[in-house]
Amino acid sequence: MEVYILDSLYRRSGIIDRFESLIWTERLSSIGDFELVLHSTPGNRLLFVPGITLGMNETYRVMTVETVEDSTNEDGLQTLTVKGRSLEKILDERLARDNLSNLTLESKWAITDIPTEIARKIFHDICILGQLHAGDIIPLVDEGSTIFPANNVPEPSEIVTYEFEPASVYTAVKNIADQYAFGFRLIRNLDAGQLYFDVYTGSDRTSQQTILPAVIFSQELDNLQNTKSLSSNALYRNAAYVISPVGNSVVYPLDVDPAVAGFQRRVLFIKADDITEADTGINAAQRIQRGKEELAKYRNLFAFDGEINQNSQYKYGIDYQLGDLVELRDADGGNNNMQVTEQIFVSDSQGDRSYPTLALNFYIGAGTWLAWDFSNQAWADFGPTEYWEDQP
């Protein structure tokens, strides 16, 4: 792996060809980070100061140096440990508001659109237009990107009203991105002196589609090693009671039968004192949206880490990207469609290697919702509740 020092236009101005170790992590909808360990020499101490930016040959992401630690161990070996976060951290340093006239907790910014366009608008208004202050504008940034192939996972088509209290641009965008499983990134256009802000949904690379070559990870295919998986339903909830001063709603996730009962019913209580709209249609829609947003935080968890063999046929950035859906086959014959949520690069005395973190998209098996025939179903909204109903 090659690490580059970048200039003020994010162009390569130097190469770091000697270091002890590097851990470089980039994420779908979170700030990435890195740790670089080098010998502490006068040249390195002069070069690595907080604020400089770094690039790497296997990615378009940019990291910013934030912390530099100079230490000496018991053997007298002096090392320099350099740490920082990806360029998306600047979004955590911008306020997301439609105006500055009222910043009380009761004041909210409400945007109605599809979720991906809401994320784009928040960034555009604050970081491109400088809606709150001209100083908030991020220089050298274009919106959208042609660096990566077009995504084939459709953007969510549901029009929602996203209301949020004063928060950073990062928090506002991340919350809706996590709810609807899309990503966002600030990337450099190699040495063109240009940055892109990109909202993306990824591509389907599972065996259930025929548009792109399938990406299948399996120990049997000899392309995974040192695997670790985690599954948990400790926080899972499948019904939300949304209580507001102007009415109540019961909301269910799309994959849950509203008839769920007994030990299978796991209720989340949401006190929505801020929903006070007099119009019954509007306040019902607000409660339903609030229920969906909160239930998205209480899903079943299934996560997987695995190190890709260096002779794997799949290479990050070529065969798959962050946000893509790939297939994971376990030793029991089950197939999981997983979303790539993180990519980690490691370089140390053992060599160079990289591996993804995968999060469950859905499980293919008898009785799971993927096997449910939706061809004669429609989404029904009858005021306080929503559910699937049969259509003639």
CATH (one of 3.40.1000, 1.10.3470, 3.30.390, 3.55.50) for 94-200: 3.55.50
At residue 362, φ and ψ (nearest 5 deg) are -165, 160
- Tens digits of per-residue pLDDT, 118-169? 999 999 999 999 999 999 999 999 998 888 889 999 998 888 889 888 899 9
For 19-78, the DSSP string reads: -SEEEEEEESSS--EEEEEEE--HHHHHH--TT-EEEETT-SB-EEEEEEEEEE-TT--E
The answer to whether residues 280 and 244 touch, using CB atoms and an 8 Å cutoff, is no
Tell me if residue 281 falls in helix, strand or coil.
helix
The answer on pLDDT for 376 being more than 50 is no
CATH of domain 216-232+302-346+354-371: 2.40.240
- Tens digits of per-residue pLDDT, 45-96? 999 999 999 999 999 999 999 999 999 888 888 999 999 999 999 999 999 9
The residue whose two tokens read 């690490």 is: 3
The answer on pLDDT for 383 being more than 90 is no
> Across all residues in the chain, what is the average pLDDT?
85
* pLDDT value, residue 378: 35
Burial level of 295, CB count in 10 A (0-12/13-18/19+)? buried
Copy the structure tokens of residue 24: 């470089």
pTM: 0.78
Helix, strand, coil shares of the chain as percentages rounded to 5? 15, 40, 45
In whole angstroms, give the CA distance from residue 129 to residue 138. 9
Element (H, E) at 176: helix 169-180
Least confident of 74-88, 206-220, 331-345: 331-345
* Widest CA span in the chain: 79
Q: Is the dihedral of CA 284, 289, 292, 294 positive or negative?
A: negative
Partners of 358 in beta bridges: 304, 340
